[in-house]
């Protein structure tokens, strides 16, 4: 365990970080993606302070899931690495995590509001609203701040029979979106969807401030077209 | 009838789907365009889950207008195919249909509001507001949902002496815009116009919330500059 | 007079129309630019219905200022040609005109509001607000509509000692911006500035709805930095 | 002192001005960047009226810090040169200055409001709000206007133990943002961050008008992750 150079894992993470930039989800070096190898007990993540577009597989850092120690790599890992680790530890069903500061998703996070489901674009991706975390306590901020950022995400799904396909992301209050999926690439795809959902919701409420969420049957129908045993979207 | 491989029809549909992506009207795989051959009793449509930009003529699926069965193609058709079929059956004057999740048109659809005509850009394209469908009933959602989505569009134009040139599209409540024209390419051109109209209307009402529609004579004059027997726009 | 093929004039107009598209000021075929040769008594303008980006010098149409008749060219001129002609006839100091449907300038036009001067970017270009025309009467709409569209622009500057450098454009109510300058290229540069001024003003009032215009001395100082005998901006 | 051709300084300033354009922070010729050589007592700045994207090292003008006289170059310097000079004289810790008319930062400046810290993206860059200057007096506008524009910026930080890392920029009321750093390139990077902060804040308050600033501990934690002796962001 925790041996080797994890070439394929690092290349996948580099490509996902490049895609964050190509999809217009970051400005400067904000944003990062990671992917886990649960058998090896490691996850690979973007290095700190290097723009997403420039990350190569050789820059990626591999960390131990157990203690966060560096297993491979010369660079300092993203300062958000403890957040990713806390998410992987708390949500054992997921394989990749992405974090961006995309404009509208971050604006909703700064407004400390969950994104209500106002249409089928949203319903295609989330079974409920895009949730938002509680604010961190002063103690959490003063202590292991980045790990606590991951813990409040995990807290959102405690005791719920968490299904990552039904809730593939969340907004961290005053910060921005984190998304996940089976791989880093899948997490980045969700990050793009969350930005679109967030922008649509902002424009919708600007046009009609009193608009409420769509009815449950429509939400459920759209979600189950794409997810779960009854899905009939895409190629078999 | 319903024989042959419909090469030209499929190529036209592939090009129109590519154009949806090139015009910035979709994110990811959302959006699709189709075109009908009424003599052959078939329409060709985008395959499900394949990004618009990547669709080639070989990916396009040809379906029977009568029963929606596959006449040509190896892929599963767009999950919105029953919507397109219902529109072709209900509006016999049209030749192509486009559907996008473009941002402002979708925001108006999510706000469940018709787009009022606030200026000549709108009047150049629609003889009235851009209409919005009623919400689907719980029964319609639980049943043949996609076909019902097309039926509520058709319902908008019942008993009116429908002229596709006067009303080249509609917003589906909580979902997004559908547009049409003589061909798939023409439907995509309208989709771009609807997005521009929708964005202009949102900005106009942000600047001046109480602004009402333009006067009927101005609307009529602009519309008839471009459409109908008195048109004098474009090359003869 | 009115002889020859006006090659240089047509090429200048084609380039200005191309620039309208390159600057992102039009969607589809909306928008046009023209330039006048006052000695020859002609102006050259974009043909109708051809996208701005595709216009070449051979497509451009040359019209007589006096009666609007075609002096050179095989295409039908822009349907807005009578508007340009009315502006050239009414504002004898100008050499080029541009018309766009750029998003924010058109939204202000649709809101039927002049753009107040909220900052130095605006003051650098206009000595006052960006004016908006009165609505056309039903008679004007039913009659020579396009010429009347130009006449209401000219009306804005009647009796004022009009200086095209101080007021290089206006918004036509419910329609969109027209701008002018010594050449078609200069008019397009103003069109880009008007769009920026319009977007800035919309965002400013969204942040602070009660914000009023800047003080007159600041407006005057900025305007005269760039225009008139005391200008000290740019290279000598 | 003040001798030589300052090749490296001019090239750095040209590259920073090009980057202003590449980052989408200016329209037309608005915007400029400069860098100082404090030992030589000179600063190099963009020439007036030349688009940022086109500036080469040969176009850049070198001015004396003491009196603003031209030390090197054939062009007229940016009309904002006296503003830059006043900032360099008042804030002796800084090495480069950038000025843009980027859309959202300029809208906040036009609204004459400081940008409150609504999230961690802001807290990563500024230890407090992005401050806004007082309005200039009529006397200041009529006199050495550009120098006064710099002086009101310096005034913001008087008597405060100014640290350029904690407050790397400000909004000039009714005008737009000025930013700074150790170099012209660093100042442009801050200009891009300020635009992002400004856009995020506008969208956040559109979603939730009553949203207040983040709590001080969270602000402090994020700021000190990236700045000062306890920083742990980026590569060592």
Predicted confidence band of residue C143 (pLDDT cuts 50, 70, 90): very high
In this predicted structure, what is the pLDDT of residue D163? 87
Alpha-helical (H) ranges within chain B are: 7-22, 81-90, 103-110, 120-123, 138-142, 145-156, 184-207, 216-226
Choose among A201, A206, A233: nearest Cβ to B49: A233
Nearest residue of chain B to residue C143 (CA atoms): B221
Predicted confidence band of residue C203 (pLDDT cuts 50, 70, 90): very high
Nearest residue of chain D to residue A202 (CA atoms): D207
Task: Tell me the average pLDDT of chain A.
Answer: 94
Predicted confidence band of residue A153 (pLDDT cuts 50, 70, 90): very high
List, in order, residues 6 or more apart from D225 with CB less than 8 Å away. Answer: A79, D124, D231, D232, D233
Nearest residue of chain B to residue C30 (CA atoms): B121
**Residues from chain A contacting residue D235 (CB–CB below 8 Å):** 47-50, 75-76
Sheet holding D32-37, edge to edge: D70-72, D61-64, D42-45, D32-37, D96-99, D176-181, D169-172
In this predicted structure, what is the pLDDT of residue C214? 97
**Sign (positive or negative) of CA dihedral D228, D230, D234, D236:** positive
In this predicted structure, what is the pLDDT of residue B229? 80
Q: Most confidently modeled of B16-30, B147-161, C70-84?
A: C70-84
In this predicted structure, what is the pLDDT of residue C136? 97
In this predicted structure, what is the pLDDT of residue C2? 56
Tokens representing C181 are 């300058």
Nearest residue of chain A to residue B138 (CA atoms): A217
Per-residue pLDDT at A2 exceeds 60:
no
- Residue range D191-220, pLDDT digits in tens: 999 999 999 999 999 999 999 999 999 999
Mean pLDDT to the nearest integer, B109-132? 97
| Best CA proximity match to A76, nearest among A57, A96, A60, A56 | A60
The answer to whether residue B233 is catalytic is yes
**Residues from chain D contacting residue C119 (CB–CB below 8 Å):** 106, 109-110, 174-176
**Residues from chain A contacting residue B48 (CB–CB below 8 Å):** 233-235
Mean pLDDT to the nearest integer, C98-111? 97
In this predicted structure, what is the pLDDT of residue B4? 74
Whether C187 and C150 have beta carbons less than 8 Å apart is answered as no
Mean pLDDT to the nearest integer, C216-223? 93
Mean pLDDT to the nearest integer, B28-35? 86
| Best CA proximity match to C64, nearest among C38, C87, C25 | C38
Alpha-helical (H) ranges within C103-183 are: 103-110, 120-123, 138-142, 145-156
- What is this structure's pTM? 0.95
| C89 compared with D234, residue with greater pLDDT | C89
Whether D57 and D76 have beta carbons less than 8 Å apart is answered as no
In this predicted structure, what is the pLDDT of residue D159? 76
User: Are the Cβ atoms of D110 and C234 closer than 8 angstroms?
Assistant: no
Mean pLDDT to the nearest integer, B39-48? 97
Buried b (16+ CB within 10 A) or exposed e, A152-184: bbbebbeeeebebbbbbbbbbbbbbbbbbbebb
Mean pLDDT to the nearest integer, A208-225? 94
User: Are the Cβ atoms of D79 and C232 closer than 8 angstroms?
Assistant: yes
Instruction: Indicate the length of chain B as a whole number.
Output: 236
Rounded to an integer, what distance in angstroms lies between the CA atom of residue C78 and that of residue D177? 41
Characterize the bridge pairing of strands B61-64 and B42-45.
Answer: antiparallel
Q: Does ipTM top 0.85?
A: yes
Tokens representing C12 are 């200048």
Task: Tell me the average pLDDT of chain C.
Answer: 94
Mean pLDDT to the nearest integer, C209-226? 93
Whether D86 and D93 have beta carbons less than 8 Å apart is answered as no
**Residues from chain C contacting residue B236 (CB–CB below 8 Å):** 76
**Residues from chain D contacting residue A145 (CB–CB below 8 Å):** 221
User: Are the Cβ atoms of B28 and A192 closer than 8 angstroms?
Assistant: yes
Which site among D75, D111, D145 would you substitute to test the C interface, given the most C Cβ atoms closer than 10 Å to its Cβ? D111
Mean pLDDT to the nearest integer, C87-107? 96
Per-residue pLDDT at B176 exceeds 90:
yes
Residues of A in CB contact (< 8 Å) with D are 27-28, 30, 47-50, 75-76, 79, 101, 103-104, 106-113, 135-136, 138, 141-142, 145, 174-176, 202, 205-206
In this predicted structure, what is the pLDDT of residue B24? 87
Predicted confidence band of residue B236 (pLDDT cuts 50, 70, 90): confident
- Residue range A161-210, pLDDT digits in tens: 788 889 999 999 999 999 999 999 999 999 999 999 999 999 999 999 99
Per-residue pLDDT at B28 exceeds 70:
no
Predicted confidence band of residue B162 (pLDDT cuts 50, 70, 90): confident
User: Are the Cβ atoms of C235 and D50 closer than 8 angstroms?
Assistant: yes
Predicted confidence band of residue B2 (pLDDT cuts 50, 70, 90): low
Q: Among the listed ranges C110-114, C118-122, C197-201, D30-34, which one has the minimum average pLDDT value?
A: D30-34
In this predicted structure, what is the pLDDT of residue C228? 83
**Residues from chain C contacting residue D129 (CB–CB below 8 Å):** none
In this predicted structure, what is the pLDDT of residue B26? 82
User: Are the Cβ atoms of B79 and A233 closer than 8 angstroms?
Assistant: yes
User: Are the Cβ atoms of A176 and D119 closer than 8 angstroms?
Assistant: yes
| Residue reference for tokens 């009315």 | C86
Whether A108 and A201 have beta carbons less than 8 Å apart is answered as yes
Rounded to an integer, what distance in angstroms lies between the CA atom of residue C212 and that of residue C219? 13
Predicted confidence band of residue D2 (pLDDT cuts 50, 70, 90): low
Predicted confidence band of residue D30 (pLDDT cuts 50, 70, 90): confident
Mean pLDDT to the nearest integer, C222-230? 85
A207 min Cα distance to partner chain D (Å): 12
- Residue range D151-198, pLDDT digits in tens: 999 999 987 678 888 999 999 999 999 999 999 999 999 999 999 999
List, in order, residues 6 or more apart from C182 with CB less than 8 Å away. Answer: C94, C95, C96
């Amino acid at each position: 365990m925790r041996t080797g150079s994890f070439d394929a894992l690092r290349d996948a993470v580099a490509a996902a970080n490049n895609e964050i930039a190509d999809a217009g989800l970051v400005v400067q070096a904000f944003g990062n993606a990671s992917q886990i190898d649960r058998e090896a007990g490691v996850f690979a993540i973007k290095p700190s302070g290097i723009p997403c577009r420039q990350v190569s597989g050789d820059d990626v850092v591999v960390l131990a899931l157990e203690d966060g120690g560096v297993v491979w790599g010369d660079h300092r890992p993203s300062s958000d690495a403890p957040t990713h680790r806390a998410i992987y530890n708390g949500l054992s069903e997921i394989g990749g995590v992405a974090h961006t500061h995309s404009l509208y998703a971050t604006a909703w996070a700064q407004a400390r509001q969950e994104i209500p489901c106002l249409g089928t674009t949203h319903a295609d991706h989330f079974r409920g609203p895009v949730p938002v975390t509680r604010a961190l306590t002063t103690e959490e901020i003063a202590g292991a701040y980045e790990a606590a950022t991951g813990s409040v995400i995990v807290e959102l799904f405690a005791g719920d029979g968490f299904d990552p396909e039904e809730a593939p992301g969340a907004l961290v209050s005053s910060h921005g979106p984190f998304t996940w999926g089976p791989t880093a690439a899948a997490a980045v795809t969700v990050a793009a969807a969350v930005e679109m959902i967030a922008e649509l919701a902002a424009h919708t409420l600007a046009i009609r401030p009193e608009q409420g969420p769509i009815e449950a049957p429509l939400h459920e129908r759209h979600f189950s077209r794409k997810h779960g045993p009854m899905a009939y979207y895409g190629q078999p």
